[in-house]
Structure 1
Amino acid sequence: MWIKKQVPNIITLANLFCGCIATLFAVQGNLEIAALFVMLGIFFDFFDGLAARVLDAQSELGLQLDSLADMVTSGVVPGIIMFQLLTQVVGKPFYVTPPAWASDQIWTSLDYSYISLLGLLVTLASAYRLAKFNIDTRQTTSFIGLPTPANTLLILSLPLILKFQAETWIVKIILNEYFLIGLTLISCYLLNAEIKLFALKFKTWGFGENKIRYVFLVGTVLLIIFFKFIAIPLIILLFIILSLLFGNQTEDEGAEI
């Protein structure tokens, strides 16, 4: 039935819709609301693949649409968020001399530093990772490089920590130019690094074949309980460490999450 085949695509478009709304909020500097819509988009991103498998509605169209939606939700938005954070901490803005045909008011409103533009490297690296994923036949048993949703959660954690866990020492670390630039570069590297990372999809519920997943889930719950939003970067770190230690235990997963 036609509508049955379109259910996963509708869910994917819901992801894209959330990403568009998040982009609007991120551009306006409302990073916490942007983070909320990105998380909702990632939720839809997880369930579109599940719906495709359950309904036997997997298709090449769905694969391409999923990457296009992820490009907005987990590519454009984290780049803008990093840009906004860098804009907060970097000094002297630059002003562009407008051409004769342009309005002075429009061009002189570009009150940000060249350094802030480095945040958009996250968007470029995400685009490269998503394009590479679609043609990389090696990523059928695991991920190679950090999945874009995981990288997005890492970056989204920064404004959430600043908003809800604004301890002085944490604020000093996050709102530091060199920390943000360093994190941007590390993020871009991890997205496209030749590092084998396990996927979090269960084919069976047995402990033996899913040991790494259960350890990760238990660790995730404990970290959230004790550290709240600060747990997010720690969870990403745990994900990478477990993958490096037990990467050979991954199974066939076959799709970006």
Structure 2
Amino acid sequence: MKKAIPNAITLANLLAGMLAVVFLVYGQLKVAVGLVLIALFADFLDGAVARWLKVNSPLGKELDSLADVVSFGVAPGVMLYGLISAGYSGGAWPSAVDYAALPAFLLAPFAALRLGKFNLDERQSEAFIGLPTPASALFVCGLVLLYLKPHPGWAEVFLHPLALYAVTGLLSALMIAEIPMFSLKMKHFGWAGNEIKYIFAGISLVLLALWRETALTAIILLYISLSIGLYLSKRKN
């Protein structure tokens, strides 16, 4: 019976991702973003509960990846599709198929590839290799929230279709890149060994205080930049 608890949480992740897609189709963007955040919480919770109950299983691992493909691959792909289409139509969320926006769905197969690699890669116990799919999803959620808010002129650059094509390509490439990305897990709370995590957390709090929910994209950009910077500095040494 205990084994079913984390699996049920994983399936809640999947359900939230599926519902996010439905709400996106009907233009309910805030609800969709909220559902992706619920999926993200469930994705964190299922592993924590499985470890606490000591019921880790191969089935749970596979279910987790399948759920993540939907919640952090398909749903963000639909978000990017809508944003690209809106960019071409003067800001209106799409109500019909827009072929020019279809490249946004590349995010989903690359998320699936990233998750398949993660399941087989034994190097990712303490850090990630490539951008985690939840981070990619949060980046896109941040763009949706930026789209919904009255935004300054500079934001139009990030919401331009050409920029969104580039975002699709970069996120897809980063998810499968052989670049270490730090994990927020800590073995202790001391400064030594956790410097990059505390720096990231501190700057993220400042960004949240300044920009609130629209800071999501900037926070993930910070995460990517710090990870790549740390990787390059280690290579030099």
| Structure-2-length-normalised TM-score | 0.89
1:99: which partner in 2?
Answer: none
Structure-1 separation of matches of 2:82 and 2:215: 22
Shift in CA distance, 248/119, structure 1 to aligned 2, threshold 3 Å: closer
What residue in structure 1 maps to residue 66 of structure 2? 68
Matched, 1:179 2:163: yes
Identity of aligned residues (%): 39
User: AA paired with 1:206?
Assistant: G
- 1:100 aligns to what? none
Asked if residue 28 in structure 1 is aligned to residue 42 in structure 2, the reply is no
> In the TM superposition, what whole-angstrom CA distance separates every residue of 1:185-223 from its partner, at most 9, and x where no partner exists?
111111111111111112222221322222211121111
User: Quick one: which of 188, 206, 212 aligns to 1:204?
Assistant: 188
Within the alignment, does 1:141 sit opposite 2:126 as a pair? yes
Residue 83 of structure 1 deviates from its aligned partner by 0.8
For 1:195 and 1:232, how far apart are their aligned partners in 2? 21
Q: Counterparts of 2:226 and 2:104 in 1: how far apart (Å)?
A: 28
How far the C-alpha of 1:227 sits from its partner, in A, is 2.1
| Matched position secondary structure for 1:205 | coil
Q: Which residue is 1:151 aligned to?
A: 136
2:12 counterpart residue number: 14
- The Cα shift of 1:89 comes to 2.2
Report the equivalent of 1:102.
none
Structure 1 contact 142–198 (Cα < 8 Å) conserved: yes
Please give the secondary structure, in 1, of the residue aligned with 2:183.
coil
State the distance in 2 between where 1:240 and 1:89 align.
25
Name the residue aligned to 1:162.
147
In structure 2, how many angstroms separate the alpha carbons of the residues matched to 1:84 and 1:167? 18
Deviation at 1:20, TM superposition (A): 1.4
Q: Given the alignment of the two structures, is residue 113 of structure 1 paired with residue 98 of structure 2, yes or no?
A: yes
SS in 2 for 1:132: helix
Greater gyration radius = 1
Q: Which runs of 5+ in 2 are unaligned?
A: 90-94
Deviation at 1:159, TM superposition (A): 1.5
What is the distance in 2 between the residues matched to 1:171 and 1:72? 28
Q: Is the 8 A contact 1:8 1:48 kept in 2?
A: yes
Contact 2:143–2:159 (Cα < 8 Å) also in 1: no
- Consecutive unaligned residues of structure 1, counting only runs of 5 or more, are 92-109, 250-257
Cα distance in 2 for partners of 1:170, 1:29 equals: 24
Alpha-carbon distance in structure 2 between the residues aligned to 1:25 and 1:211: 40
Partner of 1:220: 204
CA distance in 2, matches of 1:248, 1:204: 25
Output aligned runs, 1:43-62, within 5 Å.
43-62=41-60
Structure 1 residue 246: Cα displacement: 3.4
Structure 1 letter corresponding to 2:23: F
Q: Tell me what 2:92 maps to.
A: none
Instruction: Encode CA deviations 1:52-76: one digit per residue, 9 max, x unaligned.
Output: 1111111111110100111111111
Give the 3 Å change call, closer, same or farther, for CA 49–171 of structure 1 in structure 2: same
**Cα 1:201–1:207, aligned 2, differ >3 Å: closer, same or farther?**
same
Q: Identify if the C-alpha distance between structure 1 residues 183 and 69 changes in structure 2 by more than 3 Å, giving closer, same or farther.
A: same
Amino acid paired to 1:228:
R
Deviates more, 1:170-179 or 1:141-150: 170-179
RMSD over aligned Cα atoms: 2.1
| Contact 1:198 1:247 (C-alpha < 8 Å) held by counterparts | no
CA distance in 1, matches of 2:56, 2:170: 33
Q: TM-score under structure 1 normalisation?
A: 0.83
Distance 1:69 1:28 in 2: 22
- How many residue pairs match? The answer is 229
Amino acid at match of 1:195: I
CA distance in 1, matches of 2:232, 2:184: 14
